[in-house]
Amino acid sequence: MSTFYASTRVSSIAILVFAAALDYLIGDPKGWWHPVQGIGWMIAHFTRLAFSALHTPAALRCAGVVLGGSCIVGSGLVGWLVVAIANHLEPLLGTVVATILLASCFAARSLRDAVSDVLEPLAVGDLVNARLRLSQYVGRDTDRLIIPDILRAMFETVTENATDGVLAPLFYALVGAMLPGIGSVPLALAYKASSTLDSMVGYRDAPYTDLGWFSAKTEDALTWVPCRLTVLTIALLSRRPLHVWRLCQRDAPQDPSPNSGWSECAYAAALDVQVGGINWYQGVAKLKPLLGNAVQPITADTLDRALQLTRWSVLLWLTVFAIAFQLWRVLG
């Protein structure tokens, strides 16, 4: 292994650690430009153009492939180019830019802030404000939710987004760190683009049925491996791995999503709570499968413990990666 290659990988480990720490300490400051805004702008403009110019399912499906492919690959290429230019100007600048861009791909602090935002009015019995704040983070109707429903909604949001908002981007950042000449930022940004596509156009319902099919399928495929690794990690951290795995095998396949049900169920099993049930969307009731066993009620402490499990998962992944890399260097 060349000295340059080894030093590059050490720098990649440092950038990963710095980015995770930056997200934990600061997150996404309000008012600052975020890469997802640029990705979202591109998706929104392409979507409006496609709907105005194309009127057949086949044409919209082809447009969906173009939208998904160009957005995912383009985001990765832009990320790589920005870091490469910064490195060319000044290596320290490259490290700073890569750290900031990578931190923007993680949402651990955002999840923590969202929980605090909803729990603050809930702690003083202000259901009106709690429902209003919750509506900023979930797609379901919130105007009639009672306290247990609000807590369940936040738990489901925290545990679903633990995978696609934190651990899946980290997974691709780790993969990128091992690829010479690539680095963590391009793959993490590419995954972030896929996740943004899914949240904006990846719906089965009209008008996105045809335009969004490729984005939805791609996000499902890209999330599958990191989601299963998340389940295994949560199972290990729970100190009851067989219990968590058995409940996930029993309940998670009932969820129509190939990933979110597994992520939510792993946390629910680890914390002895149950999620799922009836949710309302624009006045229409939708029954979600029950995941986990209702041994304990979901409380504010449950949400805090779920966030803590995610933090420990990030630390575990980074530690295992750093140790594995050092062993690889020694043995290689």
Q: What is the pLDDT along the chain (332 residues), one digit of tens a residue?
A: 444 444 455 588 899 999 999 999 998 887 788 899 999 999 999 999 999 999 999 999 999 999 999 999 999 999 999 999 999 999 999 999 999 999 999 999 999 999 999 999 999 999 999 999 999 999 999 999 999 999 999 999 999 999 999 999 999 999 999 888 899 999 999 999 999 999 999 998 889 999 999 999 999 999 999 999 999 999 999 999 999 999 999 999 999 999 999 999 999 999 999 999 999 998 999 999 999 999 999 999 999 999 999 999 999 999 999 998 878 777 76
Give 280's strand partners. 285
Residue 317: which of 171, 132, 163 has the closest Cα?
171
- C-alpha to C-alpha distance for 14 and 184, rounded to whole angstroms: 11
**Structural domains of the chain, count:** 1
- C-alpha to C-alpha distance for 247 and 322, rounded to whole angstroms: 31
In this structure, the number of other CB atoms found within 10 A of the CB of residue 285 comes to 9
What is the reported pTM?
A: 0.94
Residue 327 exposure: Cα atoms within 13 Å on the Cβ side: 6
Q: Which tokens hold the place of 90?
A: 């000044």
Element (H, E) at 280: strand 275-281
Residue 166: which of 326, 325, 316, 324 has the closest Cα?
316
In this structure, the number of other CB atoms found within 10 A of the CB of residue 125 comes to 8
Residue 164: which of 139, 214, 199 has the closest Cα?
199
Domain containing residue 297: 3-301+309-331
